[in-house]
Every structure is written in structure tokens, then in C-alpha cells.
Amino acid sequence: AQSVSQHNHHVILSEAASLELGCNYSYGGTVNLFWYVQYPGQHLQLLLKYFSGDPLVKGIKGFEAEFIKSKFSFNLRKPSVQWSDTAEYFCAVNARPGTYKYIFGTGTRLKVLA
């Protein structure tokens, strides 16, 4: 069965530290990949997405992610986090491009200390 794994459930960083959140998926075919962020009390917001082309994807708020097909990974990175990045981050895979039946990971709760 298709699945998405986010290995870091809780991450605590100081401001200006670098961030990398892991995401691995299990599916051998063509996939679309997403990272969503949910700030406290707010809706899920798309950070970035990968459909095809350059495997290094840049998103909003200085985030980027790299699709490594051989590792079935789509890790999220940010070189220098801010207190305002405190949120929950979800990786999602769409194993059937053209639909929005996403498969989500369990989420990573990031806390950035000022």
C-alpha cells in the first residue's frame, strides 16, 4: 500500500538554525509531491509542490525541497528558520496525478525558539 513517512514528529530549533524535515514515500510509479504547513489555528497552506522537471523545488517563505527518486524522498529544507516558522508540516503524495486523493504523512511539529 502507498504510504508516506515523516520520521521527525517533533523538532525544536533555535532561530537561525537550519532545518531539514524528512519525507519518504512508498510508491513505484509517477507521483506528485507536496509539503503543507499549518500554523496554529489556521488552514493547511501549500508550501511547495513537485510534479516534474527540476527536482529542487523552491516554495514560499524561503522553503525548498529536493525530490530524490532513487531514495523515494522529498525532504523539506530551510537554511535559517524564524520564530514565525513554528507550525506543523505535512508531506503529502498524490500517487494518482489528476486527482487530489492525497496520502499524508503524520506531520512534524516544529517549534522555533526565539
By CB under 8 A, name the binding residues for another protein.
4, 32, 36, 41-46, 49, 51, 90, 92, 97-107
CB nearer another protein, residue 43 or residue 69? 43
CB nearer another protein, residue 99 or residue 114? 99
The number of C-alpha atoms within 13 Å of 52 and in the hemisphere containing its C-beta is 3
For the CB of residue 114, give the shortest distance to another protein in the complex, in Å. 25
For the CB of residue 5, give the shortest distance to another protein in the complex, in Å. 10
For the CB of residue 90, give the shortest distance to another protein in the complex, in Å. 6
Report the 10 Å Cβ neighbour count for 19: 21
The number of C-alpha atoms within 13 Å of 65 and in the hemisphere containing its C-beta is 30
> Rounded to an integer, what distance in angstroms lies between the CA atom of residue 108 and that of residue 114?
19
